[in-house]
Structure 1
Amino acid sequence: MKVAIIDDEPYSREEMKHLLSEYPWVEIVGEASSAETAMELILTQDPQVLFLDIEMPGMSGVDLAEALQKMKQKPEIVFATAYPDYALKAFRVEAVDYLVKPFDEEQLSQTMDRLKKLLLTDLGEQKDTKKMGKLSVQDEDKIIFIEPGNILYIFREERETYICTEKKKYTCKLPIKELEAKLATHPFFRVHKSYLVQLPYVEELIPWGNGVYQLKVHGVKEKIPVSRNYVKELRERLEL
């Protein structure tokens, strides 16, 4: 999902970028400090979503949203502002949501769920990916090929990616994001920015306090962390 952040306050832009970094399916294609400069960004980068402040020097965020209504393929709008008084105007321009600073992570998570349903199909359908054969991994001094169905989970640590099967742990040069795309036709799920798990091997979801969970995976002693942003969708994918 291509996202642009429009806000005249650099700190607010940095905070939003940090919060959105928790969502691996989000790509931030640009940012702007005014509605006027945002127009050029929108025309050149074609973002699907704008996180848009309202009170900015010159043209306001609501004015920009109204101007965008004339576009054939306009981006979805999420207002992100310090002022709660503009909510009615925001929804008159068909905003998806209205976030008030300081941003609440749970509310943002709900917003992202809404955007995902609006703009993204199932990952396997979205990417025109042919079902892959085997995955090449490094095993000491040679390259071997393993069946994706044999992978329990994948994790990233200190610039190395590890592919874990029931029998052995292998290294791979690809980052997790690329592996997630390659494995899109298999039932893998990103549970943390550093972990990708094959769902049929999940045995338990264990509360770990403050909205954080851990996973018990078949044949693995170590528990796998689950970021709070992924818990809701993970439960939906696991439950009947």
Structure 2
Amino acid sequence: MLRLLAVDDEVPALEELAYLLRQDSRVEQVSTASNGVSALQDMVQMIGAGERLDGVFLDIRMPGLDGLDLARLVGGFPSPPKLVFVTAHEDSAVTAFELEAVDYLLKPVRAERLAEAVRRLEVASAPVADQGVDDVIPVELGGRTRFVPQQAVWYAEAKGDYVRLHTVDGSYLVRMSLAALERRWVGAGFIRVHRSTLVSARHVSELRFEGGRVLLTVGTETLPVSRRHTRQVREQLVRQFRAAMP
């Protein structure tokens, strides 16, 4: 369950955002602040009292301490909360992702889009697995159990209550939700590119635009990226590429 802080100098927008967040079953608590200075004071007080703060939904253009400056200050915390920017302006998106924002929402915020931001924040806030150990998924095959290593998986595809794991050797059906697999492999380089598809960044060899769509080459497969996930996918692939550079 997530503990969140919502920050906006426009009271109606702040109240609406807090209301929508409180309707989400994944959210335990929502605190609010009407300006950057109050938000910073609240965060310092929470952390000083040992309270958990998982994420901050943050307006950008505020008088005094604006959202980007506040985000830079928050980045200096020992264990900074994850950030989601909520703004009426598109021109700060690049800066927001340079500050490692989990998501960037445009006002007016739609409930469906906010729910997606909460999902991304939930995944980003989950404990990171030990990447030195390659996780394996057991698959039942006609009385035999095969262990499919995480590193062999090109992508995972939701199939109702199951997930189909695609590898160079074939595909395997396992009883598990895609959301559960995403939480299990968070931090291991897997990216949600569609509501039904989770891709391993290590196996992505190409990103291209074709016919108004974004396509990824993953292993020997070509997969579409949904419009909703396009910006997040591009940013995450760039970050991982830079991190891998010597």
TM-score clears 0.5: yes
Q: Normalised by the size of structure 2, how large is the TM-score?
A: 0.56
The 8 Å contact of residues 77 and 95 in structure 1, kept in 2 or not, is answered as no
Q: What's the offset of the Cα at 1:105?
A: 9.5
CA distance in 2: counterparts of 1:6 and 1:184, whole angstroms: 25
CA distance in 2: counterparts of 1:202 and 1:95, whole angstroms: 32
Structure 2 match to 1:168: 170
Structure 2: gaps (5+ residues): 76-82, 103-123
CA distance in 2: counterparts of 1:29 and 1:105, whole angstroms: 29
Correspondence 1:134-153 to 2 at 5 A: 134-139=136-141, 143-153=145-155
Q: Normalised by the size of structure 1, how large is the TM-score?
A: 0.57
The 8 Å contact of residues 153 and 196 in structure 1, kept in 2 or not, is answered as yes
CA distance in 1: counterparts of 2:140 and 2:95, whole angstroms: 37
SS of 1:153's partner is strand
Summarize the Cα distance change of 1:152–1:17 in structure 2 as closer, same or farther, 3 Å threshold. Answer: farther
- Which residue identity lines up with residue 17 of structure 2 in the other structure? S
Structure 2 match to 1:48: none
- Which residue identity lines up with residue 66 of structure 1 in the other structure? Q
CA distance in 1: counterparts of 2:84 and 2:147, whole angstroms: 48
Q: How many residues align?
A: 202
Structure 2 match to 1:219: 220
Q: CA RMSD in A?
A: 4.9
Summarize the Cα distance change of 1:62–1:79 in structure 2 as closer, same or farther, 3 Å threshold. Answer: farther
Summarize the Cα distance change of 1:79–1:103 in structure 2 as closer, same or farther, 3 Å threshold. Answer: farther
The 8 Å contact of residues 207 and 217 in structure 2, kept in 1 or not, is answered as yes
Structure 2 match to 1:84: 62
Rg comparison, structure with higher value: 1
Structure 1: gaps (5+ residues): 22-26, 33-37, 39-51, 55-59, 117-121
Runs of 4+ in structure 1 deviating by more than 6 angstroms, as ranges, are: 14-18
The 8 Å contact of residues 99 and 108 in structure 1, kept in 2 or not, is answered as no
SS of 1:174's partner is coil
- Which residue identity lines up with residue 12 of structure 1 in the other structure? L
Q: What's the offset of the Cα at 1:204?
A: 1.2
- Which residue identity lines up with residue 107 of structure 1 in the other structure? A
The 8 Å contact of residues 156 and 163 in structure 2, kept in 1 or not, is answered as yes
